[in-house]
Amino acid sequence: MAIEKNTEFKMRRASDDRHFSERIETLKKQIDEGIATLFRGRKPESLYTPMFYLLEAGGKRIRPILLILSCSAVGGRPKDCLDAALAIELLHTFTLVHDDIMDHDDMRRGRPTVHKQWDEPAAILAGDGLVTLAYQTLLKINHPEIIQVQKTFTDGLLALCEGQALDKEFETRDDVLISEYEKMIEKKTGRLIEVSCEIGAILGNGTKEERENLKKFAALLGKAFQIQDDVLDVRSTEKITGKPMGSDLMEKKKTYLTIHFMGTGSALDKARFLRLWHKDSLQRRDVLKIKALFEEAGTFEAAQCTVEKFIAKALKHLETLPSSESREDLKRMAFKIRDRIC
Amino acid sequence: MAIEKNTEFKMRRASDDRHFSERIETLKKQIDEGIATLFRGRKPESLYTPMFYLLEAGGKRIRPILLILSCSAVGGRPKDCLDAALAIELLHTFTLVHDDIMDHDDMRRGRPTVHKQWDEPAAILAGDGLVTLAYQTLLKINHPEIIQVQKTFTDGLLALCEGQALDKEFETRDDVLISEYEKMIEKKTGRLIEVSCEIGAILGNGTKEERENLKKFAALLGKAFQIQDDVLDVRSTEKITGKPMGSDLMEKKKTYLTIHFMGTGSALDKARFLRLWHKDSLQRRDVLKIKALFEEAGTFEAAQCTVEKFIAKALKHLETLPSSESREDLKRMAFKIRDRIC
């Protein structure tokens, strides 16, 4: 009897997961079509082709999906927030295009980055065009709280610039604390995810409390997402991440891993790490040595534990929302983000 | 009696001009103070100092002044459009910061450009921050047509990106026509001036006709402004323009001068020009030789004539507005722009 129940439970879960994947795929398709429509017939090509290039290369569309699910979770209709969802994806793509120049990254989504495919001027301009097209798309929304939506979007974008500035500052500092790092990623990564869920909740006419809880859910999810990203940079492969293994390390970026390791590693291991870290240019073998040091020191486990902590906190905020399929899908999205390396 | 009248007329005109200068100075002071207030207390400095750097270096504040005068010319109050005026100046500064990277310009307003003073990542981010702060400032406006204001602002910015893309395209083309060039500068330079006057007219609650006429005035003024800028690049000094003489030529930029010269110069002069133009890097003496060729071919006179034509057309649109001090000041601003090289 117990075995039968367990089997039934597993089958239902598999079916739920399949339906979840189908729903996400449907949303993704709507977003992709919406983006393609935005670009149709636009000229000159020397502006719009580099703008479209990275969008066309795929991407998980996490932010627009979270926006639409947040809207639905408070009782709104996906079609009322599609433009906002597209705007968020354009804004996200803008940050990628400019960040790749700033961080000297050559690969993104398995392709050369925009400034590598064309040149830096084209990539700077493509980014500028993307942020503008994001605003143009956002301005199509017809909702009594459109000004609030725009303020949320704009304040979020400014926080994101601040986060990026702090990230660059940290590259030249050796005394960055985990608390400072968390504040930085709250802005650089968390805020856009937060903005996505908040705008979804506004456009879905959520109550003040619902908006607040979705915001908090998203902020915590964003932090978990970034730390998971830090882990993936060292632990995953180019095939999965679309960029070379250890590119953060090569760029001397402070990540959760480097900061945690420097705070907890043994004196000998830290000295070994710093010898590698201070090399002018890190090779793949150096990255592998650093990875081994992190493994030894339990750095990955610590990161994983922090990710779990943030996800658990995030889910508590979700629980306050009325029960719905969209709320469950938001929960599944959180697990998807958590499980990227599992 | 005739002499007396003439003297009286001249004295009145001198007094009018002095009062005009005082009014413009007052507006400029309000704009400068408004900008300084926007930046007060903002952190991190690694973002906001490079953002403020070029704004603080001066600048004529032409666009915000035109915005405020347009608002007044249709009966609005300057204080109701100050935030929009600040937003326009921030947006303009954003375009300068990014254009300077794209065009490899080292000097601006007599100072090293942002990417020279810091580095390219800092300048890219400063630009991104400026466009965001521009939107944040625009969103402070309380007016029933705020959405229209934002659409005008955003559509203008996208046109500007298109214009910049065309400008870069033209660098590698040898067959650019004057008509194509005019369409490009309509977007790259004209549109932001057009947007300034249009937003001023909207916020001043101008009639549809007034808005349309101010828009057309501004578009023509913008084209005159750009052609005058092309002339200044070759004919003026670094002390006046804040950048090296001939920097457009050194960057192989198509300007009104180069296109007009190639369309009208003698075969021999054109061959002389092309020998200089196709050098890998132009020196000051090459610029002087090109300048002499332009003088010879009457290129500067042709440019001046076109500027006059645009200004005259622009003024006709102004004449349709009700008579007012602000309308006269707009006219004086047009003359100021025309007379930059006289």
Residues in B 64-103 with any Cβ partner in A closer than 8 A: 98, 101-103
Those residues whose C-beta lies under 8 Å from the C-beta of residue A330, and which sit 6 or more positions away, are A66, A69, A70, A73, A217, A318
Mean pLDDT of chain A: 94
User: Which chain B residue is nearest to residue A100, measuring alpha carbons?
Assistant: B121
pLDDT at site B239: 77
CA-based nearest residue to A141, from B156, B131, B137, B150: B150
Residues in B 141-160 with any Cβ partner in A closer than 8 A: 146-147, 150-151, 154-155, 157-158
pLDDT at site B341: 44
CATH number, residue B48: 1.10.600.10
Place of tokens 């990227």: A340
Q: Which of A70-74, B252-256, B307-311 has the lowest mean pLDDT?
A: B252-256
A224 pLDDT higher than 50: yes
Q: Which of B83, B130, B138, B162 is the best substitution to test chain A (most A C-beta atoms within 10 A)? A: B162
Task: Calculate mean pLDDT across residues B126-153.
Answer: 98
User: Considering CB atoms only, which of B47, B98, B169 is closest to A44?
Assistant: B169
Q: Within a domain: residue B93?
A: yes
Nearest 5°: phi and psi at B85? -60, -45
Q: Is there a contact between A154 and B131 if contact means CB atoms under 8 Å apart? A: no
Structure tokens at B140: 């402070």
Closest approach of chain B CAs to the CA of A135, in angstroms?
7
Those residues whose C-beta lies under 8 Å from the C-beta of residue B29, and which sit 6 or more positions away, are none
Q: Within a domain: residue A262?
A: yes
pLDDT at site B79: 93
* pLDDT tens digit sequence for B77-107: 999 999 999 999 999 999 999 999 999 999 9
pLDDT at site A323: 97
Q: Within a domain: residue A43?
A: yes
ipTM, two decimals, is: 0.94
Cα dihedral B314/B316/B318/B323 (nearest 10): 160
Task: Calculate mean pLDDT across residues B45-60.
Answer: 96
Cβ pair B67, B54 in contact under 8 A: no
User: Which chain A residue is nearest to residue B146, measuring alpha carbons?
Assistant: A147
Q: Within a domain: residue B74?
A: yes
Q: Within a domain: residue A287?
A: yes
pLDDT at site A260: 96
User: Considering CB atoms only, which of B44, B162, B168 is closest to A169?
Assistant: B44
Q: Within a domain: residue B269?
A: yes
Strands B107-108 and B111-112: antiparallel
A254 touching chain B per CB within 8 A: no
Q: What is the rounded distance in angstroms from the CA atom of residue A224 to the CA atom of residue A237?
A: 20
**Residue ranges with strand state E in chain A:** 107-108, 111-112
Q: How many domains does chain A have?
A: 1
Q: Is there a contact between B127 and A128 if contact means CB atoms under 8 Å apart? A: yes
Range of the domain at B141: 25-338
pLDDT at site A3: 62
Task: Calculate mean pLDDT across residues A237-257.
Answer: 86
Q: Within a domain: residue A9?
A: no
Q: Is there a contact between B154 and A135 if contact means CB atoms under 8 Å apart? A: yes
Q: Within a domain: residue B7?
A: no
Is B108 in a helix, a strand, or coil? strand
Task: Calculate mean pLDDT across residues A250-258.
Answer: 92
pLDDT band at A268 (very low <50, low <70, confident <90, very high): very high
A80 pLDDT higher than 70: yes
Q: Is there a contact between B161 and A125 if contact means CB atoms under 8 Å apart? A: yes
A136 touching chain B per CB within 8 A: yes
Task: Calculate mean pLDDT across residues B58-86.
Answer: 97
